[in-house]
Structure formats: structure tokens, C-alpha cells
Structure 1
């Protein structure tokens, strides 16, 4: 009976599998967030990426009360639905009539 590790090819295949699993887990951790009562909560960094703004601008929006947030101890979270609502409430349509 052949055991794993009897050859270099076996060890390389095993190592590749482990690295592949690690990369998949990192991807899942980065892009998939568990729901809490149907809500997705985002970090400040994720909101900045979503809105294409700086951390300082996000801080100003928070200070001005433009974007709702949740503070747990020292962690600030934003509900994705709140961000979408703010965007929808502030959406302006430009009605131009062509001559």
C-alpha cells in the first residue's frame, strides 16, 4: 500500500490542493458576508470602495448625519440597505429635452 508523501509528486499535489483551498477561503471571507436578519453589514473600507470616496469623506458624511451607521465598541458598521437608500433618496434625474 502506497502512503501519501512517498513521492515528491504526491507532496506537490497535496500542497497545491491546500493552497487552492486557502485561496478559496480568503476569497469567501473577502466577498461573502453572512446575513444577520437578512441584512448585510459593511465595513468603512467596503463603503469607501462602493462609493469611490476616501475614508475622510466617509467620516464627514457620518459627522454630518448623511449616512447612518452602527457603532459597536470601537467598530463602525454600515447596513448595505441604508447605503442603497441614501443613494436612491439623493438620486437626481436630469430631464433634458432635445430641440
Structure 2
């Protein structure tokens, strides 16, 4: 090999390669942090994830559990929720916009002394 054929670590080609590898490593870290493995074809969410997705408080989530609105699995004191159950809850409670009802005017009778 001639000196011109050897790629040096400081060369622009190597810098571009290292930058590309760093970008791939960063993307892989993001995927690993957010990846949820499937159990029986379903994704399970924690209570925190459910409250974030539904924009509800922890207390409201507890109320949904108590009323049987949202099924859950309890493992060692930790509650887990199926993503499919969450989607089902949203579908079942979806309401389309209804036409507004007419407002009824309230008339005040003058008070007589």
C-alpha cells in the first residue's frame, strides 16, 4: 500500500465515519430506552405512562381501576396496563361532536314592592 492509499484516523473520511457511527449509537440508545417488548403480542405500560398518555392524575387512574374501567395486572405491588386495553377504553368513550343545543333565554320578572 502506498501512503496515499492509507486512510489516517485524522482524515476527513475517518472523521465522517466516526460521526456516522456516533449518530447510529445515539439512535440505538434512544430505541433501547423507549422499546417495550411484547408479552403475548401486547405492550404493557406503567401507571406513570398511562397518566401521561391520558393526561390524568394518579388518583383518577386509581378511580378507573376501582370502577373497573381499565383492567390492570398487579405484580409485586406494581400495576401494569395493556396498551390495547387503554386503546379500547378510548374507542369506547369516543364521542363525536354533537350539534349545540339552543340556549334558552331566562327572563327575570321585575320584583314588585
What's the TM-score once normalised by structure 1's chain length?
0.68
**Aligned mate of 2:49, from 46, 57, 60:** 46
Runs of 4+ in 1 over 3 A off after TM superposition: 19-26
Number of aligned residue pairs? 97
Which has the larger displacement, 23-32 or 33-42?
23-32
CA RMSD of aligned residues (A): 3.2
RCO (CA 8 Å, sep 6+): is it higher in 1 or 2? Answer: 1
The runs of 5 or more residues in structure 2 that have no matched partner are 1-17, 101-113
Q: 1:34 to 1:58 in 2, by over 3 A?
A: same
1:59 aligns with 62
The runs of 5 or more residues in structure 1 that have no matched partner are 1-13
- The answer to which structure has the higher helix fraction is 1
2:5 aligns with none
